[in-house]
Chains A and B, each alone.
Chain A
Amino acid sequence: MSDAIKSQVRAFIVENFLFGDDSTPLGDEQSLIESDMVDSTGILELVSFLEERFGVAMADADIVPANLDSIARIAAFVARKSEPVSG
């Protein structure tokens, strides 16, 4: 599950933030802000993508670097949000 999410998120980032340029390695743990890949508009694009692709509902409190600043964090966040709520 997580690898599939990572793969889709990576494809989105390469296409939208790197404009198809995958010549530079993009690590799972690499910070998207520190690497200058996303700006304030980019975050909103990313949120829109996650909601549409994975059907996760993103509250304001979810939109923090701890959840979204790397491929690994995004994948873990989406996996968490996608888990069925258990009693």
Chain B
Amino acid sequence: MCGIAGYAGTLPRDEAAMLLRRMSGAIAHRGPDAQGVHVGNGAGLGHRRLSVIDLSADGAQPMQSADGSVCIAYNGEVFNYIELRGILEARGRRFRTASDTEVVLQLYEEYGPEFVTHLNGDLALAIWDERRKRMILARDRMGVRPLFYTWHRGAFYFASEVKSLLQVPGIEAEIDPFALDQIFTLWAPIAPRTAFKGIFELPPAHVMIVEDGEARSRPYWALSFPEQDHGDVRPQSEIAEELRALLDDATRIRLRADVEVGSFLSGGLDSSIVSALAARMAPNGLRTFSVTFDDTEFDESAYQQTMVQALGTKHHAIACGPEDIAGIFPAVVWHMERPVLRTAPAPLYQLSGLVREQGMKVVLSGEGADEIFAGYDLFKEARIRRFCGRQPSSQIRPHLFRKIYPYLSSLQQQTPEYLAAFFGTGVDAPNDPLFSHRPRFRATAGAKMFFSRDLREALAGYDAAEELASAMPETFGRWHPLHQAQYIETHFLLPGYILSSQGDRMAMAHGIETRFPFLDHRLVEFAARIPPNLKLKGLREKHILRAATADLLPPAISERPKQPYRAPDSASFRGPVGDYVDEIMSAEAVSANGLFNPQAAAKLLEKCRRDVATGFRDNAAFVGIVSAQLWSREFSNTVSSRSREAAI
């Protein structure tokens, strides 16, 4: 795991080396073990290294091919590098190092840009082919590792994080109002758009070739689902057996490292499965890591302890107290590089810090199972909405909404009439591609009422949800409704929010590499073909996954209902540690930034301070405004104090 940066264009050699050092210095947290730069003829690469495989200097990057004509800077891991090395050796290739980097480099030499289709891993990379004068950029299929790019004065620049690009003289941070609208509707910008105007991300599963002053990108893989009634028709037992074999292998190859590999353990089904599999494969025992909450509404420590005792792991936990989130939130925004509507990334930032304190660099995570095996409550909600839509006058059917949200007290107190009204958004349009997500998007968009008049005018007529709807693939309409909802979660929200804001950016803030067995593309493709009723059986989520892993877990874990990962939002900022919010939400600061209505923001802050802002909209708006104000403070000056410190 590492950070990369670079450019393609003509820069003076001395200037280029200095710039590459500054760019990679700005992301030193991603790779604290070593750094390197390579300046070629027409391009340059910078690298920060987190040594995980082949810890010797042989694995240093940027790495050049034997004849010096090809150079690679690479962030991430290729988990099947041992098998790929064997294939290349059988074709007559010889290796100088034991590193996976050299395997990727030689794979490119062997296959050209198509080499990416051979990789099973989480990576973002840049390869400079000096003979052909072309730069190849690529990103893993699911979007685990980030890669951003922009053009400036005729040169192409790229990096693992935007703060690296802001080191280039003349590239400045300016909020993209359409990205802000997308975040305040969909939770994330739609790739390639980012929160920074004019700076883009390479979408997951894409390869980009930059040559002759032009960049062309194309997908090399796409998530797809079978057309209705064309999925896996085998008996459940056979499907479960193959699922288990794939999951075993996905976990096994993700334990490959020359350092110890640990595991996150939330106490939920998914991380418990991953930890149980890893514990069986770790001859010297497994170390597990959890975050606990003082607030019992969010805490899962009892389940964590059940798993620790069942597996006999060496366990480490960090408590997230009432003021911890407020204290670290400015750093969290700095690392996320975007406004957010939830504080949920913050405890994960703390957790990664704990892993680093324990001297570890690599952890497994259960992330991805909710997307590919239909674990989220939203999938059940969509099923119930269709059920209610068939009998709109029913007083009985809306009660089911209470059943799937037992942890939302305000919903528990609603009458069937109001439940039907809240979840009724779009029930009369069952063929709408966003049917499953309409209530969530609509509820989230309520937070846009705090947008300033200027921002509203800039966005006049724009509809983020419609832009997302128009981006669905051609075959989407012929998929089962559950698969349509899964696609939106897996293709858009997983890389756009879960793997970035809550994933890579929080872990890499502390130089921690996270690995995701459920996101092995073989498993993702297999899960897509599993019939919907084996994933969501009635209102029982992840049915087939539970069946395939029943022997691994105590019944208290394998049968427990889904508890979504959440963290306290506006309540986190009520104590003295959150006093800085008074300044960033002051009328002067809000007016100066121009994004929000200062009077409305002041009333929202006052409501939060009085502890009466407990609704979804108020909390989302509050966290959104605080994070957007922090974003502007941290990034709006090209070189903020934080980036200056990092670059030095």
Interface residues of A (CB under 8 A from B): 15-16, 18-21, 23, 33, 36, 39-45, 60-61, 63-66, 69
Contact = CB atoms under 8 A, between A and B. Distances in A.
B18 interface: no
B111 interface: no
B603 to A, nearest CB: 4
Given A20-B603, A65-B417, A41 B614 contact: yes
A50 B443 CA distance: 24
Contacts of A41: 410, 614-616, 618
Given A19-B600, A60-B415, A39 B421 contact: no
Q: Is the interface of B mostly helix, strand, loop or mixed?
A: helix
A39 B415 contact: no
B118 interface: no
A63 B420 CA distance: 13
Given A39-B443, A41-B410, A63-B418, A19 B615 contact: no
Contacts of B449: 18-19, 21, 36
Given A21-B449, A64-B417, A39 B600 contact: no
Interface of B: 408, 410-411, 413-415, 417-418, 421-422, 442-443, 445-446, 449-450, 453, 597, 599-601, 603-604, 607, 612, 614-618
A58 to B, nearest CB: 11
Nearest to B621: A19
Nearest to A64: B417
A40 B411 contact: yes
Contacts of B410: 39-41, 43-44
A19 B604 contact: yes
Contact of A40 (B408, B442, B597): B408
B414 A43 contact: yes
B403 to A, nearest CB: 15
A64 B615 contact: no
Contacts of A64: 415, 417-418
Contacts of B415: 60-61, 63-64
A53 B607 CA distance: 19
A66 B418 CA distance: 10
A16 B600 CA distance: 10
Contacts of B421: 33, 65, 69
A27 to B, nearest CB: 17
A45 B604 CA distance: 15
A17 B418 CA distance: 17
A42 B614 CA distance: 9
* Most B Cβ at <10 Å: residue of A18, A19, A23, A33: A19
Contacts of A15: 603
Nearest to A43: B418
27 contacts: A15-B603, A18-B449, A19-B449, A19-B599, A19-B600, A19-B601, A19-B603, A19-B604, A20-B599, A20-B600, A21-B600, A23-B453, A33-B422, A36-B442, A36-B446, A39-B443, A39-B616, A40-B411, A41-B614, A41-B615, A41-B616, A43-B410, A43-B414, A45-B612, A45-B615, A63-B417, A63-B418
